[in-house]
Amino acid sequence: MAREYLKNATLTSGSDAGETQAIVRGILDDIEAGGDKAAMEYAAKFDKYDGNFLLTAEEIEAAAARVPEKVKRDIEFSHQNVKRFAEAQKATVTDFETEILPGLTAGQKSIPVTAAGCYVPGGRYSHIASAIMTVTTAKVAGCKHIVACSPPRPGVGVAPAIIYAAHVCGADKILAMGGVQGVAAMTFGLFGLPKANILVGPGNQFVAEAKRILFGRVGIDMFAGPTDSLILADKTSDPEIVAVDLVGQAEHGYNSPVWLVTDDRDVAETVMARVPELIEELPELNRDNARAAWRDYAEVILCADREEMAATSDDYAPEHLTVQADDLDWWLNRLDCYGSLFLGEETTVAFGDKASGTNHVLPTSGAATYTGGLSVHKYMKIVTWQRATRDGAKPVAEATARISRLEGMEGHARTADIRLAKYFPDETFDLSANE
């Protein structure tokens, strides 16, 4: 049977890109021209903040003192899990060298970028976990300078738990500045900071657009849209857990898509009835977000069997993919397109978002078809090198000269010619591109 949409989305997650782009480009241009002063003016306008922008050691210590001990232990627990996973990831990339031909050796070397800028959202929700995810991976990668940037609240500053998390995880500087102005400060090296080589971390549409515009000038983790989640559930799933997990992800924002894909009509109908009830039990802000996301962006899709379910999931390429179905190994081996995969009801997206160790900065809007999420590897450049003896260079030079002339690149050909002439003056070579 064809996929049956028991609930259709009425909107897509695309934003008003044109208007957002114009606003962001104007702010970036102003700050690049005006430097620290312009950034502070935008901070006063948007953050309503006129305190110290680069936190001192005393301010960090004072913030840490305001964090309850239980919260500190939870932050440290999450940090250690993320650190262990990042260290294991790093171990999968090794430097090596290999002899391509006798006398010709080539190799690979991994080099961390020097300066990383980590954006930590702090507006509607204080994303403590984002500080852990971004700063920890940069530290494990070996970045020499790490800036954590987070929006301050008027009269308060950056949330103390964010400051504590960024400090514990290894941030060298903590910048109390949000939005485009914060991204610009890290990129342009304002307030005495080194210019960032890479910008990472989630943010609203203005932060995402700033990173998109600056990409190329600096590296970024990925182009980010609204967060999205998909659950694959069969008749063995618990509809109550499925419904709670969907609501948990819908509370991210009014335009955060959540999708249920199942081959069991009873599961689908039970979940569809239960989700609105669970949404109404949330606190007001969370409720408003989840209600809009479920109403406008959510979909429930009924499939014929698990193969059609898997194919549907791969078509959506969700940021978060949960499997609550029988035979988890089958799903692990079959599924191809997702940012992060959660197998079985014993784990859930929130575990990955907060504390289990895998990173929560993940590809959205279908980008999981071509990329994974933030990892220690994003901060590392995989470069190559080579060296050769004169005998090892000989066949490579001959081939290079002929290929270059066939392409019409005479200057390239002559760089090979001169070496053959110098190293083998008594030999004659056919270096033309003709038969």
The yes-or-no answer to whether 17-103+113-221 and 226-372 have a common fold is: yes
CB 251 within 8 A of CB 125: no
CB-facing half-sphere around the CA of 101: CA atoms within 13 A: 12
| pLDDT on residue 15 | 47
Q: Residue-wise over 206-232: b if at least 16 C-beta within 10 A, else e?
A: bbbbbbbbbeeebbbbbebbbbbbbbb
CB 202 within 8 A of CB 213: no
320 is catalytic: yes
Low-confidence ranges of the chain (pLDDT < 50): 15
Model confidence over 152-173: pLDDT tens digits? 998 889 999 999 999 999 999 9
Distance CA 178, CA 182 (A): 5
| pLDDT on residue 39 | 97
| pLDDT on residue 13 | 62
| pLDDT on residue 17 | 62
Distance CA 54, CA 56 (A): 6
226-372 CATH pick, 3.40.640.10, 3.40.50.1980, 3.50.50.60, 3.40.50.12780: 3.40.50.1980
Distance CA 381, CA 222 (A): 16
Tell me whether residue 285 is exposed, middle or buried, using C-beta atoms within 10 angstroms of its C-beta: 0 to 12, 13 to 18, 19 or more.
exposed
CB 40 within 8 A of CB 49: no
Cβ atoms within 10 A of the Cβ of 379, count?
29
Model confidence over 342-363: pLDDT tens digits? 999 999 999 999 999 999 999 9
| pLDDT on residue 435 | 64
Closest CA to 182 of 36, 63, 60, 64: 36
Tell me whether residue 432 is exposed, middle or buried, using C-beta atoms within 10 angstroms of its C-beta: 0 to 12, 13 to 18, 19 or more.
exposed
Domain boundaries, the chain: 17-103+113-221, 226-372, 389-435
Tokens of 104: 């010709």
Closest CA to 149 of 110, 112, 90, 193: 193
Which of 79, 127, 145, 320 is catalytic? The answer is: 320
To which residue do tokens 């949000």 refer?
178
Model confidence over 98-150: pLDDT tens digits? 999 999 999 999 999 999 999 999 876 678 999 999 999 999 999 999 999 99
Which of 127, 252, 319, 360 is catalytic? The answer is: 319
CATH architecture of residue range(s) 17-103+113-221: 3-Layer(aba) Sandwich (3.40)
Distance CA 339, CA 320 (A): 6
CB-facing half-sphere around the CA of 335: CA atoms within 13 A: 29
